[in-house]
Each structure stands twice: as structure tokens, then as C-alpha cells.
Structure 1
Amino acid sequence: MVRLDLRRFVIASLLLPLIAANGCSFTKTAATSDSPLATQTDASLGKQIKVIATFLPVYLFTKAVAGDAADVDILIKPGTEVHEYQSTPADVQAIAQADVVVKNGLGIEEFLEDTIKSTENPKLKVIDASAGIEPIEEISPTVAAGGEKGSNHDHDHDHADEKGQGHDATKEKDNEKANAHVHTGGNPHVWLDPILAKKQVENIRDGLVAADPANEPAYKANAAAYIQKLSDLNNQFEQTLKPYRNRTFITFHDAFPYLAKRYQLKQEAVVAIPEDQLSPNDVQETISTVKQFNVKALFSEPGVDNKLLTGISKDLGLKVYLLDSLESGQLDPNYYFTTMQSNLKTLEMAFK
């Protein structure tokens, strides 16, 4: 009996160092930087790049691509007019601390170049979401003066001044006002065409991959999923609007020429940007276009209280519908699809 206990003691004494050694070895393996567990932990605790998107549609696309892999913020809060935006000290500070700025391009962010210079941030990377997109010219400044249409319209109008006096002076003044509002890069509203929106998402994806190669798989996967939804949206637009090809629609704001071109429609805009006020010549232009093309509806935008446009619609017996240019709204990437589907239903209703 004593001999058996002694034997057990000897065996236990021999095994104890081996167990202790194996235990230490297991602990060390779990903590080593080469293990999958440690790599995942390090990545989750890693510093995200900070990305600033200029305004809502750019933010929606950027956030969709970035997902949780990057810290994405918006510079111009939804509902703030972007066409004549002036940067603030807070904007300069935000961009100074950012790694990447994503802009729509085509001249809509006129403030941005000087703002970036003010930040003195040499590491900053700028992604132009509209790179490689062929722009459509904005409506000519003479539209605000009741003159010829720009190159994205198919006809000209010439309205004589009823009084015969003061016409040149009024036209010159209106032209000066309109010239100040024309974007140098062409019409910037490319995001309202789902196919061009795909190109913007691709540009954002490639820019984020270049700025943050470690998260390339996430950026590519997120972009692919969003692009597929944009393809589906395009199919919806094509099928729904196919019966209405060559139909002319009048918008207050020159925001929908890319959408019109994509689906073989014709947009006539009253003013270049929402801030413009309707002049008497604008009213004449609108009435003339309505009559020429037998237009059945006018299109305004959410948040635009234009009593004169409403007055025109009543005088002509037309209904005013709302088309959303997506310059204000929710900070959810899916908001793009709900809004565009609503726009599609609005167009179909107006065209019937």
C-alpha cells in the first residue's frame, strides 16, 4: 500500500512540470500577435480614418461605402443651402483634423478649395466623387432674363418687352445675377441619375481604398452591395418611365437634367438654383413653355415656398408636385432609395 502511494507520487511529480509547461505555452500562444484572435482585437481597437463628406448625397454614398470601417461626418448639415455656402471656422477645424474629404465636384462646393488651403493639412486626401463624369451645362444665364435656353434644352424663346423700354437694362441686371449662380463645372446634380450615382460610389470606394488600404475588403464589399441597389433602382426607373419618353416636365430648380437625359425625358427649369427669385420674364418663360409642350404639371421642391410658382399653376390650371433633389433629409444611406422611389412615383403620377 505504501509502495503504491509512492508510485503515484513519483508519477505526479514527473507530470506536473509538463502540465505547467503546456499551460504556459498555451497562454503565450493566445497572446501572441500572430494569432487570429489577437489580430482581430488589434484591428477593432485600431484608429479609424476620419472622413468628411461635404453635403447630404455625398455623405449618403460615402457612409454606405465606409460602413463601420471609417469615421464619416458631414460638413454641411441637411437643409442648409449648398449652392452658395460659405465655410465657417468650425468647418476649417473639422477638415484640419480629417484624413479624407469627399466632395461632389462639378463646382457646387465653390467654398471648398480656399477652406482646404486654410486648414494647412498636408496629409489630407480629397476624393472627387464626380471624376470621369461628363457634365451637362447648366441653364444659360439668359434664362433668368427670359432669353435663350442653354445647351441642355432643345428650343429658344424670344420675349419682347411689352413697354419697349428698359428691357436691355433689366436683362443686363438679371444676367449679372444669374452669372453669379452658374457653377463653373457644369450642372452638379449627377447624384439624381442612379447610373451616375454608381460612378460616384465607385470613385468614393477607390478613394477610400487608396487612403486606407487595410480596410479595402470592407470598402469593396459595401460598395458592391450599394451599387447593386442602384442598379435595381435604375431598372425601376426604366420600366416605369418607358411609356413617357420625350415627355417634357418643368421644374423650379435646374436639378434634374441628368435624370431626364437618362430616361429620355426633357426637363425645363425656371431658375438655375433655388435661391433665385422668379422675375416677370421667368413667368413669361414658364407660361410659354407650358403652352408649347402642353405640360400638365409643375414641379417644386420640399422646403421651397414659392408663392409665385403656385400662382402660375393656378392661373394655368396645373398641379404642383414635389420632386426631392436630395439636398436635405436623413443621414441614412437607404434614404437615397426611399426618396428616389418617391420621386419616381411622383413623375409617374404627373405624367399619367
Structure 2
Amino acid sequence: MIRQTVGKLLMALLVMPVAIACRETPSESVSQEQTAVSEAQSLNAVATFLPMYWFTKAVAGDKAQVTVLIPPGAEVHEYQAKPEDVTAIATADILIKNGLGLEEFLEDTVTNAGNSDLKQIDASVGIQTVEEISPVMNPLKETHAAHGEHHHDTAAEHHDEHHHHHVHEGGNPHVWLDPVLAKQQVENIRDGLIAADPENQAIYEANAADYIQKLDQLNAEFQQQLKQYPNCTFITFHDAYPYLAQRYGLQQVAVVSIPETNLSPKEVQTTVEAVENYNVKAILGEPGVDNKLLETLSQDLNLTLYAIDPLVSGPLEPQHYFTAMKSNLQTLETACK
């Protein structure tokens, strides 16, 4: 009798895990199916470069798989598309771009991708732009004209300026560096995501509202900190900060339109003339650009060289926008004192 009882218990113990396993398998299968369905339903969004990625990821949350085309830290102005970029766009639902002629590689890349279902979001739609510096519109020439002086370009000078001035169609594209215009870009991205995926409208609106609130707070900080330095003038070697300067009553004097590893003799001369003609407080370089010449130049001109961030490098974390911009605020405040 005891042996029979023990035998039954052993049989029961052997059967139980099988039964339990049989009960767990369907739930695991359902979970896997739900995950697959969830991934299939989420949007596949491709952003051109880092700020567009930050803004899109902040608004989309977990409702979209967001990737970035241009690797953080790469030169955006002269980026050349790679085969993997064509593949990414070919399989994307949405492409988010800054626009204003910044992503010059994009038109041919989209054509080569052949994605007839691709929706594009131009984050800069409706933004009032300013013109970039160019050979025919140089702030120093305006100063010379105001003093009755005439500047005659030689053929060599014209060639030099043509080489070093990279003018985009549609105006200066660096709108993301102004928190107020960045807010407008976030709104454009929000509206584009809603149009593509109306079922998640409430989520996109809530996520955008949270990010926009932080942009409003950032704008208030810039206003509060910089209002004590009206018309503070700084020299840059990248025409990236006119919106930031205009927003907060500062003056940017840009020597070249895009970052240059080496300055030409004419550009050095232009920098010296800028210091002579303006009440310049500081020279601003950028991380990732060889600043040895700028350091020497700033010492010769008795000006301090500071680093300002154009926000094209950093982690894939939407909140880093605020970290980097607050660092820029601190730089500007220190430079303008």
C-alpha cells in the first residue's frame, strides 16, 4: 500500500511540471505575438541629424523606432550619403529633416531609396529665417560702407570667399539653436507624427507639451541671464548663432559660414578688422575644430577664446539638448561680462 502511494506521488510530481509547462507555453506565445504586433504597429522614423533625432524621440516616445542618419559629431554641412542611408530611408515610414537646405545630400538619397510611401516632416516649415553671410553680404563691408570706404574684391579674394562660404538655400538653417524656434520645430514634428499616426495623437501631444514646457523654461533662463549684456558682440567661425544672438539682444560677427580647420590669411585679416570695427567681447570656437590657430589669434587680439556647442554631437538622449544649451548660456554669460 505504501509503495503504491509513493508511486502515485512520484507520478504526480513527474506530471505536474509538464502540465505547468503546458500552461505557460501559450502565455509566452501570446506575449511574443503581442511584442511582434507592437513592433509592427510602431512607426519607423528616420531623423537626419542629432537635434532632429532628439526632438522626434521626445515627441514619439515608445510609439516609434527612431534612428539618426548622420552620426553624431559628423560634419552636417558637407555630409555624403552612404548606402546604408539609402536602405534606412527605403524602409522608413517617416523622414524628419531640418530643411532650409541644410541636408544637401537628402534629395538624391530619397530618390535612390525609391520609397513611394515615405512621409517627410520638414521641421522648419513656417519659421522666419535670416540670411547667411556671403561674399555680397559681409558685416564688415557694411561697416566700411557706413564710413564711406569702398572695398574692391580681387579675383583671388572672390575665389577665396566662394570657397569658404557655404550658402544654403532658404536662409540660415541653424534654427534649432534658438529655444523659441526649436519649440516651433517640435510642434511641426508633433503635427507630422499625428498626421502619420492619428491613433496615438494624445500621446504625441502630451510628450510634445512636456518638451515644449522645458523649452519655455530654457528660453526664460536665457532671457533672464543675458538681458544684462545688451549688444554683447562675439566673433564666431561658424555662422550658426544669428538666431540665438538676435533672440537675446547679442551680436554675432561670423567670419566664415561653416567651420574650417584652417583659416585663410584673408579670414585672419577679416577677424582683425572685426575687432577693430566692433566692441568685441570674445572669440567663440567650437568643440571638435582644431583651435590652435584661434588660440594664437585670440592671444594676439587680447581676447579670450571660448567654446560654444552647435549641438551636432552628443548622446542619443533628448534631454541632452537642455544640458548643452545651458552650457552655451553659461559660456555666453561668461564671455559677455
Q: Find the aligned partners of 1:224 and 1:70 in 2 and give their Cα distance.
A: 17
Output one character per residue of 1:24-45: Cα deviation in whole Å (capped at 9) or x when no partner: xxxxxxxxxxxxxxxx999746
Contact 1:246 1:266 in 2 (8 A): yes
Alignment counterpart, residue 102 of structure 2, candidates 94, 104, 108? 108
Q: Determine if the alignment matches structure 1 residue 155 to structure 2 residue 143.
A: yes
1:295 match: 280
1:193: which partner in 2?
A: 178
SS at 1:285 equivalent: helix
Q: 1:340 and 1:176 mapped to 2: Cα distance? A: 31
Match of 2:192 among 191, 194, 207: 207
Matched, 1:309 2:294: yes
Matching of residue 136 in structure 1 with residue 124 in structure 2? no
1:123 maps onto 2:122 in alignment: no
Distance 2:107 2:39 in 1: 33
Give percent identity, aligned residues only: 59
1:170 corresponds in structure 2 to 156
The Cα of 1:142 is off from its aligned counterpart by: 5.0
Q: Which range moved further: 293-302 or 254-263?
A: 293-302
In structure 2, C-alpha distance between the alignment counterparts of 1:45 and 1:307, rounded to whole Å: 49
Q: Distance in 2 between matches of 1:230 and 1:89?
A: 35
What displacement does 1:316 show? 1.2
Equivalent residue in structure 2 for 1:234, among 209, 219, 226:
219
Decide which structure has the larger Cα Rg and report it.
Answer: 1
Matched-pair contact (CA < 8 Å) for 1:140–1:149: no
Is 1:89 the counterpart of 2:83? The answer is yes
Q: Compared with structure 1, are the counterparts of its residues 156 and 255 closer, same or farther at alpha carbon in structure 2 (3 Å cutoff)?
A: farther
Q: Assess if the C-alpha contact under 8 Å between 2:234 and 2:253 holds in 1.
A: yes
- Counting matched residue pairs gives 302
In angstroms, what is the RMSD of aligned CA positions? 2.2
Unaligned runs of 5+ in 2: 1-33
Q: How far apart, in 2, do the equivalents of 1:75 and 1:57 lie?
A: 12
C-alpha separation between the residues in 1 aligned to 2:317 and 2:187?
Answer: 19
Is 1:216 aligned to residue 206 of structure 2?
no
Letter in 1 for 2:77: H
- Quick one: distance in 1 between partners of 2:251 and 2:89? 39
Residues 92 and 207 of structure 1: CA distance in aligned 2, closer, same or farther (over 3 Å): same
How much has 1:160 moved relative to structure 2?
A: 6.8
TM-superposed deviation, 1:312: 1.0
- How many Å apart are 1:275 and its aligned residue? 3.5
Counterpart Cα distance in 2 of 1:337 and 1:132 = 23
Alpha-carbon separation, structure 1, partners of 2:162 and 2:298: 28
Q: CA separation in 2, counterparts of 1:268 and 1:169?
A: 24
Match of 1:270 in 2: 255
Opposite residue 189 of structure 1, the aligned amino acid is H
Structure 1 residue 81 displacement after superposition: 0.5
Query: AA paired with 1:87?
Result: A
Any idea what SS the aligned residue of 1:77 has? coil
Q: Distance in 2 between matches of 1:229 and 1:251?
A: 27
Runs of 4+ in structure 1 deviating by more than 6 angstroms, as ranges, are 40-43, 157-161
Aligned to 2:332: 347
Q: Does the 8 Å contact 1:141/1:178 carry over to 2?
A: no
- The Cα of 1:175 is off from its aligned counterpart by 3.4
2:139 is paired with a residue whose SS is: coil
2:255 match: secondary structure: strand
Cα pair distance change 1:63/1:154, threshold 3 Å: farther
Q: Show the counterpart of 2:44.
A: 50
Gaps spanning 5+ residues in structure 1: where? 1-39, 162-166
Equivalent position amino acid for 1:155 in 2: T
Distance between the aligned counterparts of 1:197 and 1:155, measured in 2?
31
Conserved 8 A contact 2:164-2:258: no
What whole-Å deviation, never above 9, does each CA across 1:297-325 have from its counterpart, x for those lacking one? 11000111132222210101211101101
Match of 1:326 in 2: 311
| 1:72 and 2:73 matched | no
Structure 2: which amino acid aligns with 1:111? F
Distance of 1:155 and 1:177 partners within structure 2: 23
Contact 2:261 2:289 in 1 (8 A): no
Structure 2 length as normaliser, TM-score? 0.84
